[in-house]
Chain A
Amino acid sequence: MKKYREKIDGNMFLLLITIGLFFAMYVIGLIAFQDRGFGKLQVFLNLFISNSGLIVASVGMTIVLIIGGIDISIGSVIAMTCMLLAWMMEVKGIGAVPALIIVLLIGIAFGFVQGWLISYLKLQPFIVTLAGMFFARGMTAIISTDMISIKNEQFLSWANAKWSLPFGGSVNKKGIVVNPYIYAGVVIALLVLILVFILLKYTKFGRSIYAIGGNEQSALLMGLNVRRTKLKVYVINGFLASFAGFLFSLNTCAGFVEQAKGFEMEAIAASVIGGTLLTGGVGNVFGSLFGVLIKGTIESFITFQGSLSSWWTKIVIAVLLSFFIILQSMLAVARRKK
């Protein structure tokens, strides 16, 4: 029992650093951009609004990382999803609901193929998902190389569905009190997060994911069906990636080839910053949420600052990712020495 607690402590340490970092960054933002309204509740809610897709994508990534795999195709899958949605609704005239269902089914199929290659043919997850990444990006270009904006009424009504909070309002320039609001996509993303949290924590399937990620050999000897569990994880991830694509398109209302480029690194960074170990077996979806929030805070810093180019977001995230990876690696070395 004692040993178990020790292990949790090391990983809790990473999560605590993350939460601490988030609050520290937010406080810095409050002080630095005080006069520009950084303290508004809406600014905080915007972190969720602009990142609802990333929340879902990083939840999927977290599951895959816990089982000891990786999926670098999600950015392209998201682009393909957005493009397919836009193309089906605008060019083919398919309704929003059937288009959504088709897109999610394609995501599941994509995850199934990748998962089958990884779990049953024992191919390296990197190579398979790297091919998947180029495949999906290329497919996006095959569907259309031009940008398609979505004008479907039902889809736009989904995109604009928002709830105002009954408190925390601020007075705008015209003197009207505007309550802070969130979009429906955020609520759905958070629901997905909670569902996956329950799945990982309280179901047999969830526990076997941790067991396989911790040590595949012993999981096999324990009698777990390693292959099937892995396959299921990649299918779930494929579904979540296309679902993230749907949420992403609710924000952008368009499909184009260059969309969501580098998204896979943001999702990996969010998971890793949130305390998921790249070696597998350890991770928590709530940690990933904080990873996403940190990324969002960096982004709003850059928007509030005004003169920095958006490229800085990617560079800062890369630096943060390197920092956390090195921290993990050092913790692992320290543990081994013990």
Chain B
Amino acid sequence: MSKSKSILKKIAGYRLFLPLVCLAIVLLINIIKTPTFFEISIKNGVLYGYIIDIINRGSELVILAIGMTLVVAASGGTDISVGAVSSVAGAVCVFILGGGLPSTDYYHAPYILGLLGALVVGIACGAWNGFLVARMRIQPMVATLILYTAGRGIAQLITQGQNLYLRVDHYKLLGASIPGVPLPTPVFIAVLVVLLTWLVLKKTSIGLYVQSVGINSKAAGLVGLNATMIKILAYTFCGLCAGIAGMIITSRVNSIDANNAGLNIELDAILAVALGGNSLGGGKFSLAGSVIGAYTIQALTTTLYAMHVSSDQLPVYKAIVVIVIVSLQSPELRKMLGNLRANRSAGVTGKKVA
């Protein structure tokens, strides 16, 4: 009895336990509701199916979740500007390539220039956030709130308040699929970002540095780490991720809608990090957890869409999930439940406790 309990505890204590269980639950609901859920078919040499769709649509989220994980780990705060930043990056990319015209069917500038523009904008926005958080010591959410609201304004200014269309088939490559390759391109980009980040963190000591800064920034400074620089780097990397996500988002629809590109995606990214078993208070982190978290969120979104929940209403359910997860992580709740249990057992042995 006690042995099996301890094994159970061990499994439950495993870091990826929570995200995997959540993913399993979401998938289970889907299988019950739609038996064809796991079916994959091939049309025109491209794979189709619910699962493929989730993996494809979840790519931006995975990329953002990776950036967000590092930000959370290093600073104990979250970057809520990622959605707005990806909108700005997407706007810049389309603006450069389309020459600022509302609708065009050929590139006005070399393709690579548009990509670079988006990435540079993402990096600049991230560096600005990092500067505010690390150098100016402003709470991360207030610092990123500035770009969260102003970012879409900037994107609107770039696009002159209208949707810009870039009707070039080549531009679709990033968001759709390359001919002859069965999987959509965003999946490969996401895998690439995850692998590169993982390699850099694993093979160098940056991952360790990020954790030590997140656990105790002062102590990390005392042992000789440049805590400020590491935090700025984390935010800059998150900005870069937002830039990449922005390009994919615009490439999917061949246009930029500054108001709606990456709308509400910051909540999803934070949710993915929390769901991945990472503490939002900073410190230790697990990239794998965040990736699983991101796909879980995407599966949840797809499921809710299938249940005819409109995109405006989705945040309600996600907000509740965020609160539940964060509450479960809270040591205070555990203490409270512990007290409750102690009271109850005291009530059983002694007098009744009302």
Please say whether chains A and B are actual partners in one complex. Answer: yes
- A interface with B by C-beta (< 8 Å): 70, 72, 117, 120-124, 126-128, 130-135, 137-139, 141-142, 145, 257, 262, 264-265, 268, 278, 309, 311-312, 314-315, 317-319, 321-322, 325-326, 329, 332
A–B complex contacts, Cβ < 8 Å, 16 sampled: A122-B330, A122-B331, A127-B326, A128-B323, A130-B267, A134-B267, A135-B320, A139-B316, A141-B312, A141-B313, A278-B142, A312-B153, A314-B150, A314-B153, A318-B147, A319-B150
The residue on B at minimum CB distance from A119 is B332
Say how far B345's CB is from chain A's closest CB, in angstroms: 23
- B interface with A by C-beta (< 8 Å): 77-78, 80, 132, 136-143, 145-150, 152-154, 156-157, 161, 264, 267, 270, 280-281, 310, 312-320, 322-323, 326-327, 330-333, 336
Cα of A244 to Cα of B138 in the assembled complex, Å: 27
The interface residues of chain A lying within 8 Å CB-to-CB of B270 are 127, 130
Cα of A139 to Cα of B319 in the assembled complex, Å: 11
With contact pairs A134-B315, A311-B156 given, residues A325 and B138 touching in the complex (Cβ less than 8 Å):
yes
B326 touches A325 (CB 8 A): no
B77 touches A126 (CB 8 A): yes
B136 touches A130 (CB 8 A): no
Say how far A114's CB is from chain B's closest CB, in angstroms: 9
Say how far B157's CB is from chain A's closest CB, in angstroms: 6
With contact pairs A268-B145, A311-B153, A311-B156 given, residues A134 and B138 touching in the complex (Cβ less than 8 Å):
no
The interface residues of chain B lying within 8 Å CB-to-CB of A329 are 136-138
A72 touches B145 (CB 8 A): yes
Say how far B255's CB is from chain A's closest CB, in angstroms: 19
Contact of B315 among A120, A138, A278 (CB under 8 A): A138
Say how far A3's CB is from chain B's closest CB, in angstroms: 23
The interface residues of chain B lying within 8 Å CB-to-CB of A70 are 139, 141-142
Specify the main secondary structure of chain B where it touches its partner. helix
The interface residues of chain A lying within 8 Å CB-to-CB of B148 are 265
The interface residues of chain B lying within 8 Å CB-to-CB of A128 are 323, 326
The interface residues of chain A lying within 8 Å CB-to-CB of B149 are 262, 265, 314, 318
The interface residues of chain B lying within 8 Å CB-to-CB of A130 are 78, 80, 141, 267, 270, 322
Cα of A318 to Cα of B153 in the assembled complex, Å: 10
Say how far B245's CB is from chain A's closest CB, in angstroms: 19
Say how far B40's CB is from chain A's closest CB, in angstroms: 32
Contact of A122 among B80, B267, B320, B332 (CB under 8 A): B332
Contact of A134 among B154, B319, B330 (CB under 8 A): B319
Say how far A127's CB is from chain B's closest CB, in angstroms: 6
The interface residues of chain A lying within 8 Å CB-to-CB of B330 are 121-123
Nearest first, the 5 A-B pairs at minimum CB distance are: A141-B312, A138-B316, A318-B150, A134-B315, A135-B319
Contact of B322 among A131, A264, A268, A322 (CB under 8 A): A131
B157 touches A309 (CB 8 A): yes
A121 touches B333 (CB 8 A): yes
